[in-house]
Amino acid sequence: MKYLRFLCIVALLPATVCIWWGCERRDPMAPLPPHYSPFYPDNVPLIILGEVLTQAHAAAAQHKSEWDTRPVQLMTVRVRVEQVLQGEEHRREVDISYFTDLGAGSYSTARVWKDLYAGHSEIFFLQKDRGQLRTICDGWRSCILWVRTGTHYNFKAEPGAPIKDVIVKLLLSRGDHTTDQEMTDAIDHPEWRWGNPPVFKAMKQLAADEKSPAVRTVALERIKNFERHNGPIAWEPCGCI
């Protein structure tokens, strides 16, 4: 009888402690209305460049978003931090959560969005939620950018450069083990969301400083082709977002 009384006390102890001290309620993560935009990166709380370590996996069952009723599913991926581009994050490895949109007409269900590939380098636009890291937008690939030139553990951002210039330059920079073909692929798929000037500023630097003659030639050709069809490039910010 004393043994049964002891077991009951042990079983009730966690609840008693929560009543006495209070316990943090860990509600499941839910889709949020957008508070930040990857088109205005200056306002994003945390932007990190990270190498994906494990295939993304579902962290919850599919359900409907409370704010726009679209079907979504929470995904989680383990990432090794290469660079903190904006904000503060001191951990070497982090788990990042995001919602993928499963509804009709959504492009976010592409495999590269649902299953971020191990070994890929990605730029994540993030905010914190209940102490966890999550992307600033739910269901869209626009807040996770694939870095075609691979990992950049030794990348050095230009001091004082606008974050959009840092990101565009990184996307067009030779990484730790980048091939000429990967560099050419990156030149052919630049990030235009912040207008022409950041892209062509990075390409102009490639045409002048890239160690590979073949890559320098491709960068110069892209600049000339653009100017041939659109006129001289306005190298100052054009406000054309």
This prediction's pTM: 0.80
What tens-digit pLDDT sequence spans the chain (241 residues)?
555 454 444 444 444 434 333 344 455 788 888 889 999 999 999 999 999 998 887 777 677 766 667 778 888 999 999 999 999 999 999 999 998 877 766 555 555 555 688 899 999 999 999 889 999 988 777 899 999 999 999 999 999 999 999 999 999 999 999 999 999 999 999 999 999 889 989 999 999 999 999 999 999 999 998 887 666 665 444 333 3
Which sequence spans correspond to the domains of the chain?
Answer: 29-147, 161-241
Question: Which of the 8 DSSP states describes residue 38?
Answer: T
CATH architecture observed for domain 29-147 = Beta Barrel (2.40)
pLDDT at 231: 65
Which pair of tokens denotes residue 97?
């959560």
pLDDT at 113: 54
Cα separation, 57 vs 72, in Å, equals: 14
pLDDT at 34: 81
Q: What residues does 101 pair with on adjacent strands?
A: 72
Determine contact, residues 140/108, Cβ cutoff 8 Å. yes
